């Protein structure tokens, strides 16, 4: 695709990919918060006005207007108002974020990054197993009398090695020749 449609498609794919990475990150915070018993008020992908939401159990799940981010809102945790964590009633509520031990809070906060690392590793395994298209290192033409012709290289032969270095794809061939 070229022009506006190609550009729009690229932006859409970027937004979906970024949204998925954000989802995985926030899912890490959410899962660990639930696991340690913290009340999660909202799980949101995006910021700003809520476009669509539903409630399942005690948590509201939301999709918000600005897609570049997301958050997990836990009882007693308010990044816009850090004083919220010092309220005495929240410190006494066993399901609030401030009432959790330091190791539990560290686990909740670290879970997002850890999920991104796990996701990256799993995505790498998937791509490695499925494969990525590439241009093989094949001989396009051979001039009569050239050194390649003299040693019997023919059009369509696959180049597998240069100076002891393995060559799989055309880009590797170019790099090996240049270096």
Residue ranges covered by each domain of the chain: 3-130, 134-179
- Residues contacting 119, CB < 8 A, separation 6+: 21, 24
User: How many alpha carbons fall within 13 Å on the CB side of residue 38?
Assistant: 29
CB 90 within 8 A of CB 99: yes
- The secondary structure of residue 44, as a DSSP letter, is E
The answer to whether 38 touches 100, Cβ cutoff 8 Å, is: yes
pTM of the shown model: 0.70
41 is catalytic: no
Residue 5: pLDDT over 70 = no
pLDDT of amino acid 178: 84
Mean pLDDT within 123-142 = 86
| Catalytic residue selected from 26, 58, 84, 165 | 26
pLDDT for position 167 = 81
Helices marked H in the chain: 3-35, 88-92, 102-130, 147-150, 170-178
**What is the token pair recorded at 156?**
């369509």
Range from 70-79, 90-99, 110-119, 121-130 that averages highest in pLDDT? 110-119
């Amino acid at each position: 695709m070229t022009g506006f449609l190609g550009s729009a498609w690229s932006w859409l794919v970027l937004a979906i990919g970024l949204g998925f990475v954000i989802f995985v990150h926030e899912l890490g915070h959410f899962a660990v918060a639930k696991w340690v018993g913290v009340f999660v008020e909202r799980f949101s992908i995006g910021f700003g006005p809520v476009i669509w939401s539903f409630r399942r159990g005690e948590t509201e799940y939301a999709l918000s207007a600005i897609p570049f981010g997301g958050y997990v809102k836990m009882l007693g945790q308010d990044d816009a108002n850090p004083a919220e964590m010092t309220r005495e009633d929240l410190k006494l509520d066993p399901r609030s974020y401030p009432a959790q031990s330091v190791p539990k809070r560290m686990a909740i906060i670290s879970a997002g990054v850890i999920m991104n690392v796990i996701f990256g590793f799993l995505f790498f395994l998937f791509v490695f197993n499925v494969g990525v298209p590439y241009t093989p290192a094949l001989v396009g033409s051979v001039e009569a009398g050239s050194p390649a012709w003299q040693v019997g290289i023919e059009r369509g032969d696959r180049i597998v090695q240069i100076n002891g270095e393995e060559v799989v794809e055309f880009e590797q061939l170019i790099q090996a020749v240049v270096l």
